[in-house]
Amino acid sequence: MIFTSASADDHFHDHCGVFGVFGHPEAANLAYLGLYALQHRGQESAGIVSSDGTELHLHRAMGEVEEIFQQPGVLAKLPGSLAIGHTRYSTAGDKALLNAQPIMIDCNKGKVALGHNGNLTNAAEWRRKLEHRGSIFQTNSDTEVIVHLLARSAARNLSGALGDALNQVEGAYSLLVLTQDELYAVRDPRGFRPLVLGKLATPAGFAAWLVASETCAFDLLNAHYVREVAPGEMLRISKSGIESIRFAPEKQHQQCIFEHVYFSRPDSIIFGRSVNESRETLGRLLAREHPVEADIVVPVPDSGVPAAVGYALESKIPFRMGLIRNHYIGRTFIEPSQAIRNFGVKLKLNPVRGLIEGQRVILVDDSIVRGTTSRKIVRMVREAGAKEVHVRISCPPTISPCYYGVDTPTREELIASFNTPEEICKFLGADSLGYVSLPALKQAVADTEGRFCTSCYTGVYPTDLVQLEVREPASNGKLEAPSVTIENERVAAERPVAVERES
Ligand code: SF4
């Protein structure tokens, strides 16, 4: 049996990270390091395309960034001062190298490479139309729709053709496009996924431009964070400098709030705000909304740590690393025999009995997806001798899938979709359960103008052409709960009714 780390942690997974370099003699090396810092955004495949001013050079493979680019001679085959890199997460049935990025094409607009973070919500519809008109698709990635639309554009220059193509697609894209002598960085008008601009001094004393999904990639290179690429902005970076092109009409921003809850690294600045600050604030607000008498606050590492710190600071209950994470579990783990099955969460986490035994524990995590992993963790903490286990979650119940570049299970698999917090608490075997409310989540990211997407918590989507499932209470979604004494807490999740619809 192959046990994937994806299934082990029962978290949402971001699809991709992107990194671009313009004007540095070691562009591919920088792209490699940038992707290394963005590895958390995708572990299934990675690729880099470089340009030496005449030719584009591509290397992509399945695996993690280090194992792909540490192979002898690989980076040496990627010469030039321009490069884009991409690291990708894909779902189990969709691991083909064919879908790895960047995608490279030679079309009527010249040689072009693309790396895309996000998901197009009308890609299937466009694919059908384009195939009807004779386009032949090489992959099943939605990014290829952009490639075909780009090739079909009548615009004379690439920025015009890109604008044409992108104005026909809907959904989320933070996109890097490389030509022989230009780098484009584009963010969709709603700005679902992050994209940031940075600067790095070259050995010759000039400034090289960098673009990345997250600022943590700049920190690794000692680069300077300049600003975000704005939603609806296309940056054209060439020898003449940087040109900012507004390629699409202004739309209400829908920045992914879950980047602040879980995806992005806490040392990144995302959407102009420190992720760590948001997470600690979430923990503080969680403590205010769901206080409980207890002895220690224990995070589910690593992603639950900042919120647990915030909870502990606010509640004045001691913070303890009562669960230790094994960082060395690979992408896949082959269970040795039938006799020792279902290591499950034990592969990743181990309790510190000396800290937990006899204690009333507040267990802080960032989210519950299916609930199966959380249930195992609660059981593990009880088995380590906890007197009580109170689960606190630093986001609202996740009731709906994401269509904007995040791999989520179906609605039926999301435990909060068909179960109340009381039912979930029983399923987990916890003494109490508390989720932070949606207003508190918005407060934690300082969202006073409705700039964030919260669709996975509301089931209300900001784009057309999404095949929304009907949300109905379904008996088959109910859980069989073990019999435990609980003290349930009601979630104060906001349920907005307004849907922003734009053509
Ligand atoms: Fe982010 Fe959720 Fe919106 Fe997807 S649906 S973009 S995960 S907030």
pLDDT digits (tens, 9 = 90+) for 96-120: 788 899 999 998 889 999 999 999 9
CA 240 – ligand 1 centroid, Å: 37
| CB 263 near ligand 1, within 6 Å | no
Report the nearest-CA residue for atom 2 of ligand 1: 456
Q: How far apart are CA 434 and CA 479, in angstroms?
A: 18
Query: In this predicted model, what pLDDT tens digit does every residue of 214-235 receive, in sequence order?
Result: 999 999 999 999 999 999 999 9
- Mean pLDDT, residues 380-389 taken together: 97
CA 403 – ligand 1 centroid, Å: 7
- In this structure, what token pair is assigned to residue 169? 């697609």
Model confidence band, residue 499 (pLDDT cutoffs 50, 70, 90): very low
| CB 271 near ligand 1, within 6 Å | no
Pocket test for ligand 1, best of 456, 458, 499 (most atoms within 8 A of CB): 456
- Mean pLDDT, residues 375-403 taken together: 96
Q: How far apart are CA 195 and CA 486, in angstroms?
A: 44
Q: Cβ–Cβ contacts within 10 Å for residue 156, how many?
A: 8
Q: What is the pLDDT of residue 94?
A: 58
CA 456 – ligand 1 centroid, Å: 5
CA 59 – ligand 1 centroid, Å: 31
What are all long-range contacts of 492-496, with beta carbons under 8 Å and residues at least 24 apart?
492/289, 492/437, 492/439, 493/396, 493/397, 493/435, 493/437, 493/438, 493/457, 494/396, 494/437, 494/438, 494/439, 494/458, 495/458, 496/458, 496/460
| CB 369 near ligand 1, within 6 Å | no
Only one residue has tokens 């073990």, namely 482
Model confidence band, residue 487 (pLDDT cutoffs 50, 70, 90): very low
| CB 452 near ligand 1, within 6 Å | no
Pocket test for ligand 1, best of 454, 458, 460, 463 (most atoms within 8 A of CB): 454
Q: What is the pLDDT of residue 383?
A: 96
The dihedrals phi and psi of 102, each to the nearest 5 degrees, come to: -65, 155
Least confident of 156-165, 231-240, 243-252, 326-335: 326-335
CA 8 – ligand 1 centroid, Å: 21
Side chain identity at residue 265, one-letter code: R
CA 460 – ligand 1 centroid, Å: 11
| Helix axes of 275-289 and 305-315: crossing angle, nearest 10 degrees | 50
pTM of this structure: 0.88
Q: Is the pLDDT assigned to residue 494 strictly greater than 80?
A: no
Query: In this predicted model, what pLDDT tens digit does every residue of 273-296 receive, in sequence order?
Result: 999 999 999 999 999 999 999 999
- Name the 3-class secondary structure at 191: coil
Q: How far apart are CA 387 and CA 293, in angstroms?
A: 12
Q: How far apart are CA 498 and CA 467, in angstroms?
A: 18
Q: What is the pLDDT of residue 7?
A: 41
- Which residue would you say has higher pLDDT here, 482 or 66? 66
- In this structure, what token pair is assigned to residue 191? 């700005």
Contact between 168 and 121 under an 8 Å Cβ cutoff? The reply is: no
The residues facing 234 across adjacent strands are 186, 245
Model confidence band, residue 9 (pLDDT cutoffs 50, 70, 90): low
| pLDDT averaged over every residue in the chain | 87
Pocket test for ligand 1, best of 252, 253, 258, 261 (most atoms within 8 A of CB): 258
For a pLDDT cut of 90, what percent of the chain falls above it?
75
| CB 84 near ligand 1, within 6 Å | no
Q: What is the pLDDT of residue 345?
A: 78
Beta strand 296-299 with 360-365 is: parallel
Query: In this predicted model, what pLDDT tens digit does every residue of 134-180 receive, in sequence order?
Result: 988 888 888 999 999 999 999 989 999 999 999 999 999 999 999 99
| CB 454 near ligand 1, within 6 Å | yes
- Which residue would you say has higher pLDDT here, 378 or 464? 378
Contact between 277 and 269 under an 8 Å Cβ cutoff? The reply is: no
Query: In this predicted model, what pLDDT tens digit does every residue of 432-485 receive, in sequence order?
Result: 999 999 999 999 999 989 999 999 999 999 987 444 443 333 334 444 433 232
H helix runs in 303-407, sequence order: 305-315, 353-356, 372-383
Element (H, E) at 325: strand 323-325
Catalytic annotation, residues: 16
| CB 257 near ligand 1, within 6 Å | yes
- Which residue would you say has higher pLDDT here, 330 or 375? 375
Which class for 58: exposed (0-12), middle (13-18), buried (19 or more C-beta within 10 A)? middle
| CB 256 near ligand 1, within 6 Å | yes
Q: What is the pLDDT of residue 406?
A: 86
Q: What is the pLDDT of residue 86?
A: 97
For a pLDDT cut of 70, what percent of the chain falls above it?
85
Q: What is the DSSP letter of 476?
A: G
- In this structure, what token pair is assigned to residue 199? 């600067």
| CB 456 near ligand 1, within 6 Å | yes
- In this structure, what token pair is assigned to residue 78? 């990627």
| CB 270 near ligand 1, within 6 Å | no
Nearest to 118 by CA among 266, 271, 259: 259
Alpha-carbon separation of residue 73 from 51, 145, 296 (angstroms)? 17, 33, 51
Contact between 279 and 310 under an 8 Å Cβ cutoff? The reply is: yes
Least confident of 40-54, 112-126, 191-205, 327-341: 327-341
Q: What is the pLDDT of residue 497?
A: 25
Q: Which atom of ligand 1 is nearest to the CA of 400?
A: 5
- In this structure, what token pair is assigned to residue 421? 């917090």
CA 219 – ligand 1 centroid, Å: 26
- Mean pLDDT, residues 405-414 taken together: 87
Q: Is the pLDDT assigned to residue 390 strictly greater than 50?
A: yes
Q: How far apart are CA 450 and CA 427, in angstroms?
A: 34
Least confident of 34-48, 374-388, 406-420: 406-420
